[in-house]
Chain A
Amino acid sequence: MSDPVFLRPLTAPDADKGQAVVFGPDRALLLDSGRSLAPWTIAYKTYGTLNAARSNAVLICHALTGDQFVASSHPVTGKPGWWEIMVGPGKPIDTNRLFVISSNVIGGCMGSSGPAETDPATGETYGLSFPLITIRDMVRAQAMLIDHLGIDKLLSVIGGSMGGMQALQWAVSYPERVVSAMPIACAARHSAQNIAFHEVGRQAIMADPDWYGGSYYSRGTQPSKGLAVARMAAHITYLSEPALQRKFGRTLQNKGGISFLFAPDFQVESYLHHQGMSFVDRFDANSYLYITRAMDYFDLAADHGGILAEAFRGAKTRFCIISFSSDWLFPTAENKRVAHAINAAAGNVSFVDIKSDRGHDAFLLDEPEMFATVRGFLNSVAVSEGVA
């Protein structure tokens, strides 16, 4: 175990960077593409204490631009953890009771092997020579981390959005190791519309002259404008029309009126600009390409003869699926489709749709009904597994 390596210098030198495991050449990570990674690194962070029976471990999987800093401040931005509202002592995912593990996905840029890291074979930054990865590859890497930590079974695998895809993949890939899974605001496949939005983001990055075919690292640049546009377009899909209307409406930045210029006139424009610009300070553009691609490739049914229920045949995992009524990126119907497929395979599944106008982002926000669901479900799983 060692400190994870970061692409950019940390703004806070004393920041908690979490931990990392380096797997040597004898422990290669085999990838769906047929390629493999060796040696490779997975960076992670834990919260709470593993009990003597090793039965209270919960894995939290992060979304597209998330990281292992679920419930502690981000070492680059200094901002609170992305799910502090959900994870911590006395929180719905209670670290007084549970041992929470969260790792940075393979392909990411917070210490795990990814395009911004150095290729040990060449001593150069990987860039686009990093192999394409899939959600299943991310999960395979996490399973090796869990092995390394000496944990056989996970009490729960929990995640929203791309994290939910990983939770589903975990239950399908390692059914005997996953007691319960909570896929939140996700789907068993990426839809055509979602792939389309991702392609807009990728094209924006690749159209930036500072991208240099992915090898911008040695030039001391990064495709900030392209990455910011990608983030802006994506951010719209995380909200909802009513939420945007409620938050911004047509309110102008300058009370004096419109400027008859292309500078941001509307508050919603400034907001998006801010979202774009603050994102490039903490995220690698190539990582964005790789991870969006992994999401696009995700289709659980395709791996099982096109029949989703087949993916869950014989599953002993208890599932709890949560969707949000105004999420149009991963709509209620897509979440429900997964619940029905698990049902059709005679699996054990709960399905909760939460009424909210905050769109896809709702899973990161203060949604009391989500908290009650997570708390109730986890408690019932913990009790049935004898976790005190």
Chain B
Amino acid sequence: MMALRPDLAAIAEMIPKGARVLDVGCGDGALLEHLSQTKNVDGRGLELSQHNVNACVARGLSVIQGDADTDLGEYPSQVFDLVILSQTIQATWEPKTVLGHLLRIGRHVVISFPNFGHWKVRLSLLAHGRMPRTQTLADEWYDTPNIHLCTIADFVDLTQTCGAEIEQALALTPEGTTRSMEARAWLPNLLAEGAIFVLRANNMGSGI
């Protein structure tokens, strides 16, 4: 088994054993494979790249080709314990709709994204007057898949708009180390390079 990408390893740590998991944008299936081997999860994947999908299925994973922007509506409500969206929300056309679907489909949503409010990003724009390029955001502005970048503060606003309750908020370094953070405070938004949030829809009640 190959070493898991650091941010995925951090997410894997958070998944309970035997959970029913949907990984949206599951890539080559590394996280799903890891979870099924180490945590006995019942895992499914949705992946845009057909090449990646074929690789996943050849590895014995249950994955279908599809687009988070258009295909999440096909999933029934509340059938997964957890829905994972890692480093993908900033690449969707309609992050609000996508988040709404995730909260509908899963009892809990684990979501990670790069923080555009990190001080290096802020400083880069201030100092150079150009779209920031960092370790996690390495593409030129014209060929980046990241069309809806946000800061931690922006994301917290979106969770409120979508009626989500923040169950856990972690600051994430590119090396994959995490530390708990107060998501609404200004300092984590300046110091965290990335974030992992665990959400749940607060209109569903705790019984679901």
Chain A interface (Cβ < 8 Å from any Cβ of B): 318, 320, 336, 339-340, 343-346, 348-355, 369, 372-373, 375-377, 379-380, 383
Any A CB within 8 A of the CB of B207: no
Given known pairs A351-B65, A353-B50, the reply for A377 and B57 (CB within 8 Å) is yes
Interchain CB contact under 8 A, A344 and B74: yes
Interchain CB contact under 8 A, A354 and B60: no
Q: Which residues of B contact A348 (CB under 8 A)?
A: 44, 62
CB < 8 Å neighbour of A376 from B44, B50, B59, B74: B59
Bitwise, B42-75 to A at CB < 8 A (1) or not (0) is 0010000010011011111111111000010011
Any A CB within 8 A of the CB of B76: yes
Given known pairs A351-B65, A353-B65, the reply for A369 and B54 (CB within 8 Å) is yes
CB < 8 Å neighbour of B74 from A340, A369, A372, A379: A340
Given known pairs A320-B57, A340-B74, A373-B58, the reply for A350 and B79 (CB within 8 Å) is no
Q: With CB as the reference atom, state the residue of chain B lying closest to A322.
A: B57
Q: With CB as the reference atom, state the residue of chain B lying closest to A372.
A: B58
Given known pairs A340-B71, A343-B74, A344-B76, the reply for A352 and B60 (CB within 8 Å) is no
Report the bound CA distance from A387 to B62 in whole Å.
19
* Chain B, range 173-205, C-beta contacts under 8 Å to A: none
Q: Which residues of A contact B56 (CB under 8 A)?
A: 350
Given contacts A340-B71, A350-B63, A355-B50, 12 further A-B contacts (CB under 8 A): A343-B64, A344-B76, A346-B79, A348-B62, A350-B57, A350-B62, A352-B50, A353-B53, A353-B65, A373-B57, A380-B59, A383-B60
Interchain CB contact under 8 A, B64 and A377: no
Q: Which residues of A contact B53 (CB under 8 A)?
A: 350-353
Q: With CB as the reference atom, state the residue of chain B lying closest to A346.
A: B79
Interface residues on B, range: 20 to 34
Q: How far is the CB of A352 from the nearest CB of chain B, in Å?
A: 5
Q: Which residues of B contact A373 (CB under 8 A)?
A: 54, 57-58
Interchain CB contact under 8 A, A336 and B44: no
CB < 8 Å neighbour of A377 from B60, B71, B76, B79: B60
Chain B interface (Cβ < 8 Å from any Cβ of A): 44, 50, 53-54, 56-66, 71, 74-76, 79
Q: Which residues of B contact A369 (CB under 8 A)?
A: 54
A-B contact count (CB 8 A): 63
Interchain CB contact under 8 A, A354 and B79: no
15 A-B pairs whose Cβ atoms sit less than 8 Å apart in the complex: A318-B62, A340-B74, A344-B76, A346-B79, A350-B53, A351-B53, A351-B64, A352-B57, A352-B65, A373-B54, A373-B57, A376-B58, A377-B57, A379-B60, A380-B60
Q: With CB as the reference atom, state the residue of chain B lying closest to A339.
A: B64
Q: With CB as the reference atom, state the residue of chain B lying closest to A382.
A: B60
Q: Which residues of B contact A339 (CB under 8 A)?
A: 64
Q: How far is the CB of B28 from the nearest CB of chain A, in Å?
A: 13
CB < 8 Å neighbour of A343 from B57, B58, B60, B75: B75
Q: With CB as the reference atom, state the residue of chain B lying closest to A375.
A: B58
Q: Which residues of B contact A380 (CB under 8 A)?
A: 59-61
Given known pairs A343-B75, A348-B44, A376-B59, the reply for A354 and B64 (CB within 8 Å) is no
Q: Which residues of A contact B60 (CB under 8 A)?
A: 376-377, 379-380, 383
Q: How far is the CB of A336 from the nearest CB of chain B, in Å?
A: 7
Report the bound CA distance from A377 to B79 in whole Å.
23
Q: Which residues of B contact A340 (CB under 8 A)?
A: 64, 66, 71, 74
Q: With CB as the reference atom, state the residue of chain A lying closest to B45.
A: A350
